[in-house]
Amino acid sequence: MINNRKHFSQSIAFGTFRFLSLMVAGILFAILGFIIYKGIGVINWEFLTTAPTDGMTAGGIWPAIVGTFYLMVGSALFAFPVGVMSGIYMNEYAPRGWVVRFIRVMTNNLSGIPSIVFGLFGMALFVNYLGFGDSILAGSLTLGLLCVPLVIRTTEEALKAIPDNLREGSRALGATKLQTIWHVILPMAMPNVITGLILAMGRVSGETAPILFTCAAYFLPKLPNSVFDQCMALPYHLYVISTSGTNMDAQLPLAYGTALVLIVIILFVNLLANALRKYFEKKVKTN
Amino acid sequence: MNKIETNNVNFWYGDFHALKDISLDIEEKSVVAFIGPSGCGKSTFLRLLNRMNDLIPNTRLTGDILIDGQDIYDKDIMVDELRKNVGMVFQRPNPFPKSIFENVAYGLRVNGVKDSDYIRHRVEESLKGAALWDEVKDKLKVSAYALSGGQQQRLCIARAMAVSPSVLLMDEPASALDPISTAKVEELIHELKKNYTIVIVTHNMQQAARISDKTAFFYLGTMVEFGETKRIFTNPDKIETQNYITGRFG
């Protein structure tokens, strides 16, 4: 009898857990389904490859796709060296003590700063003080700052996962610390570092606030020519055509189409991260 | 001729006094075994001989350690050069995630050797020296992780030999291996004695008795007794040694 009651309460508990977990997955599917349902109608070759026309009420989103791509690459070029080198310093070089604790607390706080504040800071520093103007460069650096903490943390975790006896084995052969990191530790850590970086890029591609004052253009009829040009970007374009405009009825389907493209890009980036990690793991093992 | 001399070595991890007044001399081209229960300081002492303990923060050393008559803790000593001369094999095989060839070539490459003919020659010699050549000569490009545990350990010995050390330190090199692999490693140590001075830490007293010329018994951070292996195992001076080798504790 008691056994039965225990069994019963256990079923209730696990049933609840399972229901809640499935609900989370369900929400994701609901969002995806909704966006696909609303957006798929406008997706065609022309939508993907032409610029908006008629005051954003027709045409495509090509400049925004290109702009988002530039911003992802630009912020990666900044966040990768800074984040990886900081991560290496913190895990391999820095003496355990208040300096490392201080840097870690600061990077954690950095990742907690609202993205709109990053935008303001980027405007003050990159756009105005350094004189880059509203540009891809300023936007990339701002987005780079935003995701540096993530890259540092994934780098640190990737390095921590490598057993100390490999470090000792290398040092015992007369290798310096730098040689050990370069030839043994980094090649092993790279799969996880790259995965972290690409996931960070996925996050960057969806950010709106940091590029609001630093880079994003409301409408540009042509593609940017240099890093000092402004560019359009998918999340900002989505924001623009769903909040302001002359013909909401015509714009709304375009907004859903834009959202769909953005989600597909992020999904693709995540899949790419997975594929790259598998590729690197294989390579490290046989090399 | 003494290859290694140590005088009144004391060592601390933070406040913990891990080694107390250790003095012992090791002859060239001999095998010395360190035995004793876990935590007695034998591995710590071994790791002082190639300054591996430098990697651990917050430690302190007093006393002298000389190799070939030179104080290895002298300010002018290049630690990386020292570690080339004093090779180390660890408890668990720790090959790098590289090919068999690159594992052995690694020590040469990081020490600036570029001549690929010489590297190939040293790799082959070292693998032969570690009695592994016949098993791997057709798959040098294969990952080291494809080897068995015993083969990996012999690969690590070959890796240490490739940079031409004169001393080999072995920290329980067979404790993670099966009996057949262990026998192979012991046989190899016997062979290596001709060219190297070998210091080996072991938990296995039969192993110490089989392979070493001299044995040092460590207990609670002190060296209780040091002498000819035969005598230590048949007629020790100290009662603690006798208790340990007869299995009364440890």
**A94 CB near a chain B CB, below 8 Å?**
no
For B161, the closest chain A residue by CA position comes to A173
Whether A148 and A203 have beta carbons less than 8 Å apart is answered as no
User: What is the mean pLDDT of the segment spanning B210-239?
Assistant: 93
Domains of chain A: 45-286 (1.10.3720.10)
Please give the model's pTM, rounded to 2 decimal places. 0.82
User: What is the mean pLDDT of the segment spanning A192-214?
Assistant: 88
Q: Is the pLDDT of residue B165 over 70?
A: yes
Structure tokens at A145: 């700052």
Whether A169 sits inside 8 A of B57 (CB atoms) is no
Whether A175 sits inside 8 A of B57 (CB atoms) is no
B145 located within any domain: no
Provide the domain limits for residue B46. Answer: 2-95+167-245
B214 located within any domain: yes
Q: Is the pLDDT of residue B151 over 60?
A: yes
**B139 CB near a chain A CB, below 8 Å?**
no
Structure tokens at B183: 């026998």
Name the band, by pLDDT with cuts 50, 70 and 90, for residue A100. Answer: confident
The confidence score (pLDDT) of residue B246 equals 85
pLDDT digit string, tens, across residues A208-256? 888 888 888 777 777 888 888 888 888 888 888 888 777 777 788 888 9
For chain A, give the percent of residues with pLDDT over 90.
Answer: 43
User: What is the mean pLDDT of the segment spanning A154-167?
Assistant: 92
| Amino acid at site B217 | F
* DSSP type of residue A216: B
Helix (H, G, I), strand (E, B) or coil at A201: helix
**A203 CB near a chain B CB, below 8 Å?**
no
Name the band, by pLDDT with cuts 50, 70 and 90, for residue A133. Answer: confident
Q: Which of B96, B111, B145 is nearest residue A184 as measured by Cβ atoms?
A: B96
Structure tokens at A182: 């370069």
Whether B31 and B216 have beta carbons less than 8 Å apart is answered as no
Number of domains present in the structure of chain B = 1
The confidence score (pLDDT) of residue A284 equals 61
The confidence score (pLDDT) of residue A1 equals 55
Q: What is the CA radius of gyration of chain A?
A: 23
Min Cα distance A180 → chain B (Å) is: 9
Whether B97 sits inside 8 A of A172 (CB atoms) is no
B77: alpha, beta or left? (left if phi > 0; alpha if psi -120 to 50):
beta
The confidence score (pLDDT) of residue A2 equals 60
For A92, the closest chain B residue by CA position comes to B55
- CATH of residue B83's domain is 3.40.50.300
Please give the order of strands across the beta sheet that includes B214-219.
Answer: B86-89, B167-171, B197-201, B31-35, B214-219, B222-228
The Cα–Cα gap between A154 and A190 comes to 10
H-helix or E-strand spanning residue B87: strand B86-89
B158 located within any domain: no
- The complex's ipTM? 0.88
B126 located within any domain: no
B161 located within any domain: no
**A165 CB near a chain B CB, below 8 Å?**
yes
